[in-house]
């Protein structure tokens, strides 16, 4: 229907096994279509696995398998007529490190955009910077008339990115994480608190910027938090179970308006006018 978009927020235990990852993705795409979804949304590195955790070096044979698996996803997207947002990495011919990216595939099986993660964790040469090259720009695209944007994982720590998305007209933000694959000890020591912090911050950014946010995370045990969807008023619409493979279907209706207390003054705040009305 016009003014409605149905999204499938998906999670599964992402690993370094590209074949297994692709199998999960293809299966969940089919499930999403059966449930009426227009687009299926997957975690960060959901096809390739997450460098530094799932694998320590890029192998040529894995690259061939990854590209072949991406083509299968494209073909199924075309067959099912469903959009896909899938995590992977991408080697640019001029770089020795790849970008940590999301491929945006429309319901005709066409790659319409690629978003490269702009903020990687750690200092230069450390953590993610040892495996990935940062991207440079934001991305917007259309699905059934809705303006959509994307972010990846660590970028939840930068409220400026959510502001940027809103200022560019984004209505629905798809954000993908890889915050999981922790031991029970690691989860209890820091993962549980981190998951609570991320969930709260994302909901706050949804409310502060009046955005729908689909948050897809790996379910690899121990996962820091379960995938969820936040409404523009910050309330949780749906959330899956932590550590459990699954998808959740959300209907977004543009005609429904939610509470937006900062709406009257948000545009002024974006311009740096940090007060309401006349002084």
pTM for the full model? Answer: 0.97
Distance CA 203, CA 251 (A): 18
Q: What topology does CATH give the domain 4-257?
A: Nitrilase/N-carbamoyl-D-aminoacid amidohydrolase (3.60.110)
pLDDT tens across the length of the chain (279 residues): 668 999 999 999 999 999 999 999 999 999 999 999 999 999 999 999 999 999 999 988 899 999 999 999 999 999 999 999 999 999 988 778 999 999 999 999 999 999 999 999 999 989 999 999 999 999 999 999 999 999 999 999 999 999 999 999 999 999 999 999 999 999 999 999 999 999 999 999 999 999 999 999 999 999 999 999 999 999 999 999 999 999 999 999 999 999 999 999 999 999 999 999 888
Domain chopping of the chain, boundaries: 4-257
Q: What is the pLDDT of residue 23?
A: 98
If one counts every other C-beta atom within 10 angstroms of the C-beta of residue 134, the result is 15
pLDDT at 277: 84
Other CB atoms within 10 A of residue 246 CB:
15
pLDDT of residue 1: 60
Task: Find tokens 């459990």 and name the residue.
Answer: 244
Using N-to-C axis directions, what is the helix angle for 60-80 and 18-34, rounded to 10°? 10
């Amino acid at each position: 229907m016009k003014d409605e978009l149905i999204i499938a927020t998906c999670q599964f235990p992402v690993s370094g096994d590209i074949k297994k990852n692709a199998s999960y993705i293809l299966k969940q795409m089919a499930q999403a279509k059966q449930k009426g979804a227009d687009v299926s949304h997957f975690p960060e590195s959901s096809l390739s696995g997450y460098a530094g955790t799932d694998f320590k070096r890029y192998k040529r044979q894995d690259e061939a398998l990854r590209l072949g698996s991406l083509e299968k996803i494209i073909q199924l997207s075309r067959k099912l007529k469903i959009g896909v947002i899938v995590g992977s990495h991408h080697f640019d011919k001029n770089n020795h490190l790849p970008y940590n990216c999301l491929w945006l595939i429309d319901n005709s099986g066409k790659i319409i955009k690629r978003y490269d993660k702009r903020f990687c964790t750690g200092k230069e040469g450390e953590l993610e910077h040892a495996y990935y090259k940062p991207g440079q720009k934001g991305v917007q695209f259309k699905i059934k008339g809705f303006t959509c944007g994307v972010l990846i994982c660590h970028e939840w720590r930068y409220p400026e990115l959510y502001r940027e998305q809103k200022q560019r007209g984004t209505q629905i933000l798809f954000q993908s994480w890889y915050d999981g694959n922790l031991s029970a000890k690691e989860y209890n020591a820091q993962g549980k608190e981190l998951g609570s912090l991320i969930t709260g911050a994302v909901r706050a950014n949804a409310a502060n910027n009046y955005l729908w946010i689909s948050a897809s995370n790996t379910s690899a045990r121990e996962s820091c938090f379960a995938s969820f969807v936040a409404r523009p008023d910050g309330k949780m619409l749906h959330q899956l179970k932590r550590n459990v493979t699954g998808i959740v279907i959300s209907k977004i209706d543009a005609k429904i308006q939610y509470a937006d207390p900062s709406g009257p003054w948000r545009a002024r705040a974006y311009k740096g006018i940090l007060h309401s009305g006349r002084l």
